[in-house]
Amino acid sequence: MIAAYVLLLVPFLGIAFFGLTGHRDDTGKVNIGLNTFSFLASIWLAVKVLNVGSLYSADQAFLIDSFNVYLIMLTAFVGLTTSIFSGPYMAHEKELGKLNDRRLKLYYSMYQGFMLAMYLVLTTNNMGVMWVAMEGATLATVLLVSLYRTPESIEAAWKYFILCGVGIAQALFGTILLYYAAVQIGDSEHALLWSVLYENADKLNPDILKIAFVFLLIGYGTKIGLVPLHNWLPDAHSEGPTPMSAVLSGLLLNDALYAVVRNKMLVDGATQNNSAGLLMMGFGLLSFLVAAVFLHRQKDIKRLFSYSSIEHMGIMTFAFGMGGPLATFAALLHMTVHSLTKSAIFVTVGHAAQVAGTQDIKKIRGLIKTQPKIGWGLLIGTVAIAGFPPFGVFTSEFLVLLATMHSYPWLAPVLLLGIGIAFAGLFRHIQPMVFGEQPEGQLPVKANLWPVFIHLGLVFWLGLAIPDFLANWFSQATLLISGSTPL
C-alpha cells in the first residue's frame, strides 16, 4: 500500500508548496512534476493489484481493488495531461489581465487539493471518509469556479456550493442510515468499512438500505449532474477556468458515480433484487434525454459540452443500474472513453474561446483556418463524443444498446432516439465553428495540444481493440460489481 500513500502524499505536499511559495514562473512546471509523480504511483499501484489482487492497508482504512484501481490510474493520467495544458493556458489568461499571481497561487493550490480529494474518494475503504472527500472536492472546485471573480463566476460558484451542499447533505443522511443498519449486526467501530459491509450485505436490513440509497443517489447524483439535480453543472463549466472544466467532467463526475455504484452493491446484497438499479435507470435515462434536447438550445460553447457530459453520465448511470455483465462492462468502458474524450474537448474549447475572444457559439468561426490544430482537435473530439465509429464511445454505446435490447428491449428505441437528437445538437453548432468564415483580425494563440491528440488517439485505439490488461481490469471489476465473485 506504499503506492497508495505516495498517491495521497504528493498532492498534499503540492497544496503546501504552492500555498507557501505562491506563483512563480516555473509553477506550471512544478504542477506537471507533481502530477507526473502521482501518475507513476498509480501505475505502481495498478501493477500490484494486477499481480496480487485486492490490497488493504494494515488498519483496513484503504482498499484498492479491480474496480477503483483503473479509475485511480485514469484520474492520475487526466490530471497529468490537463496540468500540461493548463500551464500555457493560464499564462495566457494572465497576459489578458484576467488573473494575477495571487489567483494563480489559489488555482494551483486548489488543483492539487482537488486531485487529493479525488484520490481519497477512490482509495478509502470508509464510506464516511468517502463523503468527507467528496465534500472536500466541492470546496476545492467552488474556489476554482470563482477564480475570475466576475459577477457571473461568483454567482456560478454560489449556485454550485448551495446545490451541491444540499445534495451532499442528503448523502450524509444516507451514510448515517447505512451506519445505523450496520451497527445492528456487529462491531460499530468498523461499521462504515465498505469491505465489512459488503461481506455482510445479506445480513443488513433491506428496508433501511433502500431508504439510505434514495438519499445517497440524490446526494451523489447532484455531483454526477443527474437531472433534475444538474443546474449547477453548466454554470460551473462556463464560468470557471477551462482546465477546471476538463477535470470536472473527466474526473469528479466519475468519482461521484463510483460512490453510487459502491452503495448499489451493498443494497443489491441486502435486498437480493435490482430495486436500486431501477432507480438508477430512471434517473439515468431522464438525464440522457433531457440533456440531448438541451444541446440544441445552447449559446455558450462550454455550456454546450457540459450538457454533453450530463448526457453521457446519464448513459453510464443507466447502464450501471441495468446491471449484468455486459451492461456493467459497457459502463466501465464508457467511463474511460468519456473522460479521455471530454477532457480533450475542453482543452480545445478553451483555446477556441481564446482565439475568438468569446465563448459565444455564434461568434466562434473559422477555427480550422485560424489555427488548424484547434479546429481539427475540436472536430475530431466532437466526432468521437457523438459516438462515431471506430472511436471507443461508439463501442461502449453499442454495448449499452445491446445490453438494453437483451434486458429491456422496449427501451432500445428510446436510446437510439436520444443518441440521434444529441448528435444533431452537437453538429449543428460545431460545423460553422470549425468551417465557417474566419472573422477579420482573428489570430492564433499559444497552445499545447499534444495531450488532446494523445487522448483522442487512445479513444480511437479503444474503439478498435481493448488491450488485454485493460480488458482484464474491466472483467474483474464487472464480476465484482455484478456480484458474480467474492471480493
- Span 101-143, pLDDT tens digits: 888 899 999 999 999 999 999 999 999 999 999 999 888 988 8
Decide: 276 and 183 in contact? Cβ < 8 Å. no
pLDDT at 231 over 60: yes
What Å distances lie between residue 171 and 166, 215, 258, CA to CA?
Answer: 9, 6, 14
Report the pLDDT value the prediction gives residue 484, as an integer from 0 to 100: 56
What Å distances lie between residue 147 and 14, 39, 143, 367, CA to CA?
Answer: 19, 26, 6, 27
**Banded pLDDT at 88 (limits 50, 70, 90):** confident
Decide: 320 and 335 in contact? Cβ < 8 Å. no
**Banded pLDDT at 289 (limits 50, 70, 90):** very high
Report the pLDDT value the prediction gives residue 249, as an integer from 0 to 100: 82
Mean pLDDT of the chain: 89
Higher-scoring residue by pLDDT: 455, 438:
455
Percent of the chain at pLDDT exceeding 70:
99
3 state SS of 221: helix
Report the pLDDT value the prediction gives residue 485, as an integer from 0 to 100: 46
Cell of 343: 477532457
Cell of 97: 489581465
**Banded pLDDT at 486 (limits 50, 70, 90):** very low
Cell of 132: 468527507
Prediction pTM value: 0.94
Least confident of 304-308, 329-333, 354-358, 374-378: 354-358
What CA dihedral angle connects 193, 196, 199 and 200, to 10 degrees?
-100
What mean pLDDT comes out for the span 256-270?
A: 93
Residue corresponding to grid cell 460499530? 188
Going from N- to C-terminal start, the domains of the chain cover: 287-487
**Banded pLDDT at 347 (limits 50, 70, 90):** confident
